[in-house]
């Protein structure tokens, strides 16, 4: 195994035992980035800076310094502000924007020793489910280059899946971490809304955006969240809630865990092969002592329509600041999807339509949240597919509506503000398949507990 293919835990152990250096890990990742340039996973590669930081980390490791991510190369979705590193949100509007400060999450990761190896490609402004909407060209799936990797955090998932780094950051507004994690055979976490700071991250839809990450296994995901979670005074939407010992959940097993299977997620439209894969894993969890219960989330059928009213409304508000006056290029640089969502958002917020559309969607959102609240009185976690289909070919879904429907199993978690974890469960026709674990707000530990067992099956 090449050292760039290691998990964070394996790399940390190797660094501590002097089996290899941080410089060698970074070099190995950079070589993979160059080798697989066709995947178009990166917009900006920080080669010189990453190598310099790796040299410094190696010196400090020799001197006895030990941090959770010391010397570990990570990639960053190009929607996170990074001080003195170009941040584009994959849009030519911000083609030459250099931030003067970093997002809180970036500061936390760097304070714990992480090395930023580059900024990853994504759907422009995080608008998309496939990775095809970037102004810098589509990202390609490492398991089949003619296929989409999922979006919007496409480059982040690809960079981890193809070992261009050991972990990556992402954002999830309606499935933008979980879908690419499923399509690229990596672990993807969407935390509870407000669990991780949104400060310094380009806003898409402010009441839905969740800040998460991609890793090669569940254990690494728990480690990253233990670093990024917690109160930030710069983000007023964060409750002052204690951060759990997430790694302590990993070896608890699933005996006695109550797992809900929502019947609405297994109806027409779901690929039969995906359904069988999920059911096989659920059966094995039951054999390990988990208690399986069929549940109902009756308002699921309205979730996609509800989401695609609320989200464009908030998008239109957030994109209004990009006027080309204070920074960035003018609005003629906006792509088709940004224009589409802005126009839809302005429409549903306009006089005469606000009551009919936006207010009604917010009422449905409350009902969806109540569905989950009621379900979690009966079960500890809920298991569902991530996507109704396998990855599709690039250019196959030219109709925006068919693209939006790919989020049908993921948008509910964002509407309800609950956490979701995507864990790989195998392959169909050589393409990856993931399974989604949902839990009550701030129950990420339970997700890691269940996810670790699925990973071990």
Q: Does 402 have pLDDT greater than 90?
A: no
* 3 state DSSP class of 168: strand
Tell me the two tokens of residue 83: 């001080």
Q: What does the pLDDT read at residue 1?
A: 78
Determine which one of 77, 119, 216, 397 is catalytic: 77
d(CA 360, CA 347): 14
Q: C-alpha 425: how far from its chain's center?
A: 17
The better pLDDT of the pair 404, 118 is held by 118
- CB count, 10 Å around CB of 353? 13
- Active-site residue 102, yes or no? no
Q: Does 398 have pLDDT greater than 90?
A: no
Token pair 């599709």: residue: 392
Edge-to-edge strand ranges of the sheet holding 73-77: 42-45, 115-120, 73-77, 167-172, 210-215, 187-190, 420-428, 431-438, 381-385, 258-262, 291-295
Q: What does the pLDDT read at residue 375?
A: 98
Query: Which ranges constitute the DSSP H helices of 239-352?
Result: 272-287, 303-319, 336-349
Determine which one of 130, 152, 210, 406 is catalytic: 152
Token pair 């990166």: residue: 42
What is the pLDDT averaged over residues 371-397? Answer: 97
- Active-site residue 226, yes or no? no
- CB count, 10 Å around CB of 430? 9
Of 63-72, 205-214, 356-365, 398-407, the least confident: 398-407
d(CA 435, CA 242): 28
Q: Give the tens place of pLDDT for each residue, 334-359.
A: 999 999 999 999 999 998 899 999 99
The count of domains in the chain is 1
Phi, psi of 453, rounded to the nearest 5 degrees: -70, -40
Phi, psi of 422, rounded to the nearest 5 degrees: -100, 125
CATH number, position 377: 3.90.1300.10
d(CA 436, CA 267): 16
Token pair 């501590």: residue: 16
pLDDT-derived band at 406, boundaries 50, 70, 90: confident
Q: What does the pLDDT read at residue 100?
A: 97
Q: Does 85 have pLDDT greater than 90?
A: yes
Q: What does the pLDDT read at residue 160?
A: 98
Q: Give the tens place of pLDDT for each residue, 173-228.
A: 999 999 999 999 999 999 999 999 999 999 999 999 999 999 999 999 999 999 99
Q: What does the pLDDT read at residue 98?
A: 97
pLDDT-derived band at 87, boundaries 50, 70, 90: very high
Q: What does the pLDDT read at residue 401?
A: 76
What is the pLDDT averaged over residues 7-14? Answer: 98
- Taking alpha carbons only, the member of 135, 127, 179 closest to residue 157 is 179
* 3 state DSSP class of 131: coil
SS3 content of the chain, % helix, strand, coil (to 5): 45, 15, 40
User: Long-range contact list for 324-327, CB < 8 A, 24+ apart?
Assistant: 324/93, 327/94, 327/97
Determine which one of 22, 28, 176, 226 is catalytic: 176
pLDDT-derived band at 416, boundaries 50, 70, 90: very high
Q: What does the pLDDT read at residue 379?
A: 98
The H or E element spanning position 200 is none
CB within 8 A of 12, min separation 6: which ones? Answer: 68, 70, 72
- Taking alpha carbons only, the member of 251, 131, 182 closest to residue 436 is 182
pTM of the model: 0.98
Q: Does 380 have pLDDT greater than 90?
A: yes
- Active-site residue 176, yes or no? yes
The H or E element spanning position 188 is strand 187-190
Q: What does the pLDDT read at residue 404?
A: 80
Domain hosting 271: range is: 3-456
CB within 8 A of 364, min separation 6: which ones? Answer: 299, 302, 305, 306
d(CA 72, CA 74): 6
Q: Give the tens place of pLDDT for each residue, 95-123.
A: 999 999 999 999 999 999 999 999 999 99
Q: Strand 420-428 relative to strand 187-190: parallel, antiparallel, unpaired?
A: antiparallel
d(CA 231, CA 193): 12
Q: What does the pLDDT read at residue 428?
A: 98
3 state SS for 65-125? CCCCCCCCEEEEECCECECCECCCCCCHHHCCCCCCCCCHHHHHHHHCCCEEEEEECCCHH
Q: Does 82 have pLDDT greater than 80?
A: yes
Q: Give the tens place of pLDDT for each residue, 284-334.
A: 999 999 999 999 999 999 999 999 999 999 999 999 999 999 889 999 999
Q: What does the pLDDT read at residue 349?
A: 94
d(CA 317, CA 326): 17
Q: What does the pLDDT read at residue 362?
A: 97
Q: What does the pLDDT read at residue 405?
A: 80
pLDDT cut 90: percent of the chain above it: 96
- Report the b/e string of 67-106 with b at 16+ CB within 10 A: bbbbbbbbbbbbbbbbeebbbbbbbbbbeebebeebbbbb
């Amino acid at each position: 195994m090449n050292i760039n293919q290691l998990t964070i835990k394996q790399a940390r152990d190797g660094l501590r035992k002097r089996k290899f250096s941080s410089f060698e890990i970074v070099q190995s990742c950079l070589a993979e980035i160059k080798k697989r340039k066709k995947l178009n996973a990166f917009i900006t590669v920080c080669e010189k800076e990453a190598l310099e930081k790796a040299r410094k980390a190696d010196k400090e490791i020799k001197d006895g310094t030990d941090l959770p991510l010391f010397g570990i190369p990570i990639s960053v979705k190009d929607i996170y502000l990074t001080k003195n590193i170009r941040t584009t949100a994959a849009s030519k509007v911000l083609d030459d924007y250099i931030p003067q400060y970093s997002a809180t999450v970036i500061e936390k990761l760097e304070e714990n020793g992480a090395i930023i190896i580059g900024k990853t490609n994504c759907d422009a402004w995080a608008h998309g489910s496939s990775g095809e909407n970037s102004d810098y060209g589509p990202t390609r799936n490492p398991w089949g280059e003619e296929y989409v990797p999922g979006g919007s955090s496409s480059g982040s998932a690809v960079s981890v899946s193809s070992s261009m780094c050991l972990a990556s950051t992402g954002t999830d507004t309606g499935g933008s971490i979980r879908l690419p994690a499923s399509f690229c055979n990596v672990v993807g976490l969407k935390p509870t809304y407000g669990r991780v700071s949104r400060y310094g991250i380009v806003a898409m839809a402010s009441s839905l955006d969740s800040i998460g990450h991609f890793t090669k296994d569940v254990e690494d995901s728990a480690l990253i969240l233990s670093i990024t979670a917690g109160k930030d005074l710069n983000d007023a939407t964060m409750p002052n809630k204690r951060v759990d010992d997430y790694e302590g959940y990993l070896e608890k097993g699933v005996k006695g865990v109550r797992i809900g299977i929502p019947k609405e997620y297994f109806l027409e439209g779901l690929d039969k092969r995906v359904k069988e894969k999920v059911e096989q894993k659920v059966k094995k969890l039951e054999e390990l002592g988990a208690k399986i219960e069929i549940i109902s989330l009756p308002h699921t059928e309205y979730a996609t329509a509800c989401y695609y009213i609320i989200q464009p409304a908030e998008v239109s508000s957030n994109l209004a600041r990009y006027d080309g006056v204070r920074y960035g290029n003018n609005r003629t640089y906006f792509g088709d999807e940004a224009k589409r969502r802005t126009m839809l958002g302005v429409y549903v917020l306009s006089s005469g339509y606000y009551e009919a559309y936006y207010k009604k969607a917010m009422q449905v959102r409350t009902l969806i949240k109540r569905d989950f609240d009621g379900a979690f009185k009966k079960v500890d976690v809920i298991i569902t597919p991530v996507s109704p289909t396998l990855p599709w070919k690039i250019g196959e879904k030219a109709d925006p509506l068919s693209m939006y429907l790919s989020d049908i199993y993921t948008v509910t978690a964002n509407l309800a503000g609950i956490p979701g974890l995507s864990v790989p469960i195998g392959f169909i026709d050589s393409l990856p398949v993931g399974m989604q674990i949902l839990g009550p707000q701030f129950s990420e530990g339970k997700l890691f507990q269940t996810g670790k067992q699925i990973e071990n099956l």
